[in-house]
Structure 1
């Protein structure tokens, strides 16, 4: 088997949103970037509902107008049947932050658009490329070995970014993860047409509805053309699926809802039922000599607040900025990556802590607002309700990640 060697500033393992954004931002800065993606895009992926925090990144990449032109369904906010409240309540993104709406996207197309944009900006993208192992010089990662097109290749680089999601292709060799024991959930979902809709003033909102005994919750994501992604999430230990009957389990739980049951009345299921274990975790280490992680390779947060893609995309901004600084001043690597890890870990921990609090169903919505406001801790949000919207939209996290290196810049100023 032929074996080749190439040299890059940065190798990014994984072409999903976090990896594509990191690569695109670095390539735009003139860095030589190789992206290795094990699959061939477009490919199916769940997680269609975006929050507005990610639009700051698509703005920076010159992608927001393209998302609009693609015709993705607008997502102006959230509709909830949650906590002690009786009935439906909702919030709008425009109540906090600069963006009136985000999008519900088909992830196969959305992810492909981001990866294509990284290539447009100058990154070299190789799909169906399987990373076998990191290359080492002592205890330092100096690249990766990968298989592509029936050949083995060594890609050497100053830094390797692990953006391979929950596979953690590089990071798992150097860092364990800490599982959140209270967030070990299982999801069952499918897709439906002929669905009903929320009240007119809530059109386009994601629906999040607990079932009547509060043992789990449903999502409902409108994807346009009368199509909806619908899933049920519950603690793994509480899920009992007889003889693998996902459909029967799903519909039994559906009868324990009010709004979601009505939305699906008379609808047609147009896809198989899928299932996945969403076990939330945080890596012990986000970086080491020659490598750093981003997105789900660093942390996976429960899907309750639709925050996963946004977290990865937002963290790609300080990561690309930090790597750009490191390439100019390699002696600053450890300090800059530590700053990146501290900032993103704080961001991730705040969202995780809030998700755990939000799962407490005995609370009034004002309790949820107050806690979110305290976590966001930002004078821009002048009320608890605004603090809640700021947190669940990802806008609150923008302050953390966009100003991660401000004090270092101040210290370096003459």
Structure 2
């Protein structure tokens, strides 16, 4: 890491959130240094995009790269009930006839490299294999970071703003004890990959399928990817999946017995990877920013992956934080108020997706709701595509509550 002028912004973490925030700031002519502990490519889960990622990808200059990639095109999502009944697909284009309604099923190791290289192309000073040891504070204000390069050489990098995009192991979240778990969504997941498993044809080939377990304890994701590979994972309550069940492989295939539709789909394929597990799902930081610092992506919060919102939230938080940082640098204000001004609106959108997730776990039936409130088909599709940041969607949840009330009254 050669000596050079101090950056205006230093970003910790090179995943989608870090790449997004750094690219957008660099586009405005500011010096940005991005520090990534690992060397890409590296494995990461979170493979299904939803359509609203389009608009951030467009700002980043990523759209043409995505269009020319070999990633499988995704046009819809479909749900399978505990009894095995398939819903009609939710085709995104039916609700929003625009090219943004086609998205992709990605391999994160490849996508993340594309995003990081794109950041470099826009002028971000990217360093891989660099470990951030600490964030430097003067009083309550972040003023830079202490790092160690691969050769073990220590260095300080001063900056006007420090962005923590380091994921669930966020240094600042741990430092200030900001992490707030979500007891209503205390879930875990087990997943693996199959080659040659069943996939639909034509327009439906790239659809994400959400399949409920027969006993309603959880659900499977089924994500068709390129090279004839399918990502297949089960999500359920932490206690149910992991307490007293120490063999992840055995647990995974036990749950597949509990979901015949998934078992049938993978029966013609071959498992090509060991079963992986994650046990720390939905949480949020109690604040997104402080004087001179900001949290983005999984560092700020993570939401249950039911509706594949992970990459969207990474990109969106990166975009919103970047705009606040750029404005702050322009006016000479890098206070908590300025750097975190995007948080309330972002949290509102995140809460709408969270509410839809909770309704699913409470037995929400998309088909029944649309039959009762056909005027909401477009709004529900908006929620599913990640168009979360508008108040008119709140009427959906008011009508869900009214349906629950009328059902209770009739019992």
TM-score in same-fold range (> 0.5): yes
1:392 matched residue in structure 2: 384
* 2: CA distance, partners of 1:241 / 1:252: 14
Whether 1:239 and 2:241 are equivalent positions in the alignment is: yes
SS state at 2:186 partner: strand
Task: Flag the 1:84–1:353 CA change in 2: closer, same or farther, 3 A.
Answer: farther
| Alignment root-mean-square deviation, CA | 2.5
SS of aligned partner of 2:342: helix
Q: Counterparts of 2:300 and 2:368 in 1: how far apart (Å)?
A: 32
CA distance in 1, matches of 2:365, 2:83: 6
CA shift, 1:61, in A, is 1.4
User: 2:134 — aligned with what?
Assistant: 133
Gaps of 5+ in 2: 393-411
Contact 2:245 2:251 in 1 (8 A): no
Higher strand fraction (1 or 2): 1
Aligned counterparts of 2:322 and 2:65: Cα–Cα separation in 1 = 22
Q: Closer, same or farther in 2 for the Cα pair 1:212/1:294, shift >3 Å?
A: same
Q: Secondary structure at the match of 1:279?
A: coil
1:241 deviation in Å? 7.3
After superposition, the Cα gap between the structure-2 partners of 1:279 and 1:243, relative to the gap in structure 1 and judged at 3 Å, is closer
Contact 1:247 1:273 in 2 (8 A): yes
Q: Which position in structure 2 is the counterpart of 1:19?
A: 18
Write the deviation string for residues 135-183 of structure 1: whole angstroms up to 9, x where unpaired: 1111111011111122111111111111111111223323512211021
Work out the number of aligned pairs and report it: 389
Q: How does 1:10-409 map to 2 (within 5 A)?
A: 10-82=9-81, 86-97=85-96, 98=98, 99-149=100-150, 150-198=152-200, 200=202, 202-240=204-242, 244-331=246-333, 333-361=335-363, 363=365, 365-367=367-369, 383-397=375-389
Which residue of structure 2 lines up, in the alignment, with residue 407 of structure 1? none
For residue 243 of structure 1, report the CA deviation from its aligned partner.
Answer: 6.7
1: CA distance between counterparts of 2:259 and 2:383? Answer: 26
Residues 382-401 of structure 1: CA deviation (Å, up to 9, x unaligned): 9311111111111233899x
CA positional deviation for 1:266: 2.4
* C-alpha separation in 1, matches of 2:83 and 2:257: 20
Over residues 350-404 of structure 1, what are the superposed CA-to-partner deviations in whole Å (9 max), with x where a residue is unaligned? 221221112122545343798xx9xxxxxxxx9311111111111233899xxxx
Is the 1:14–1:36 Cα contact (8 Å) retained in structure 2?
yes
Give the TM-score, by structure 2 length.
0.88
Contact 1:84 1:361 in 2 (8 A): no
Task: Please identify, of 281-290 and 200-209, the stretch whose mean Cα deviation from structure 2 is larger.
Answer: 200-209
CA change 1:136–1:215 in 2 (3 A) is same
Worse overlay, 159-168 or 382-391 = 382-391
Q: Distance in 2 between matches of 1:351 and 1:364?
A: 15
